[in-house]
Amino acid sequence: MSKRRLAIVDDNHALVAILVEFFQVHGFDVVGFDGISHIEQLAEAEPDVVMLDLLMPQLTGQEIMRAMSQSAVLSSVPVIVFSNVHKQDSWPLAEAVIEKPFDLYELLELVCHTLPGGKVP
């Protein structure tokens, strides 16, 4: 079985770098984006799960989730929102929400439970 692919989208380059390294150590194939300007960038990554910040300067997390929901490639991909804004009922397109700052191992557990089949890679 191939590794599970995780896409991380946040405009904080340092956070993206930390998360990419952390999840790679834990067996994921990870692609990190320091923000994205169009949804095709995310579709090309073919992720199994997307971790997404909400407040970004190019496309916001809400705009990305809306575009994902209309994409043939991305509509079934679960999204985990990580943000300073914590109102899960406000993000109906998100599978899960975790508030910044977060514990990396709690995030790992959340990602694993969000994966189709709910298993660690």
**Reduced to 3 states, what is the DSSP secondary structure of residue 11?**
coil
What distance in Å separates the CA atoms of residue 7 and residue 20, rounded to the nearest whole number? 9
Single-letter amino acid code for the residue at 121: P
51-87 residue pLDDT tens: 999 888 888 888 999 999 999 999 999 999 988 875 5
Could you say which of 3.40.50.620, 3.40.50.300, 3.50.50.100, 3.40.50.2300 is the CATH number of the domain covering 5-101? 3.40.50.2300
Evaluate whether 97 touches 88 at the Cβ level (below 8 Å). Answer: yes
1-31 residue pLDDT tens: 468 999 999 999 999 999 999 999 999 999 9
Instruction: For residue 14, give every residue at least 6 positions away whose Cβ sits within 8 Å of its Cβ, in sequence order, or none.
Output: none
Q: Highest mean pLDDT: which of 34-38, 58-62, 106-110?
A: 106-110
Query: Is a pLDDT exceeding 80 seen at residue 118?
Result: no
